[in-house]
Amino acid sequence: MLSLDKVQVSIEGVRVLRDVSCDIVERKTTVLIGRNGAGKTTTLRAIMGLIGLDSGAVRLDMEGLDKFPAYHRARAGIGYAPEDRRLVADISVEENIILPGLALSLDKSEIKRRLDEIYALLPQLHVMRERPGGGVSGGQGKMVALGRALLIARKVLLLDEPFQGLAPALALDYARTLGELRKHRPELALLITESSPVLLDKIADRTLQIERGEIVTTSTEG
């Protein structure tokens, strides 16, 4: 389980997160909704160690992550797909996907096993695997970022605004993919940020609402 305990974060002296506490539970999909600027992306960046905490704690399976460097999150099994995708333009789609595995020195057989698993879930990535990262559309880039995050995600998967900027048809396709992911990788704890939870209604187990850096409401499906 991933847990945040009274997390406070400031950016350039302005408090962005205020006592954020929540649990992201294995085998469940948690959706964090809020307006632009509410603190959704900052929450994910705090989990990944990409921004420092003023106070509070982030724990995975009761182990505090704050004392470790940012890359430890990936090594611990947390996959992260940022809103802006951050693909390397000059290398292929497949090389983008396996890049974090190489950075963590996974052996070749394990990388191949995970890559085959990703291609089974996202066959469109296999089709465009040789295309350069800079040659994919915005929607395709979202899928590549998802594949890259899945290569690392053994325990937790964080998706930041995955539907942002997608055409309706692509958004529906992405939502279906997440439904299939839940079936194929049921052990994962998913945390997905969104401005509107409509596309995630069918797979969300829990919804959190954040306003001005504070969790204000929670709801549980079923």
Burial of residue 75, with CB atoms counted within 10 A of its CB: 0-12 exposed, 13-18 middle, 19 or more buried: middle
pLDDT tens sequence across 148-185: 999 999 999 999 999 888 888 888 888 888 989 999 89
Provide the pairing of β-strand 63-64 with 14-24. unpaired
The answer to whether the Cα torsion of 178, 211, 50, 19 is positive or negative is negative
pLDDT of residue 6: 97
pLDDT tens sequence across 30-83: 999 999 899 999 999 999 999 999 999 999 998 999 888 888 999 999 999 998
Measured in residues, the chain has a length of 222
pLDDT of residue 221: 62
CA distance 220 to 163: 22
pTM of the full structure: 0.93
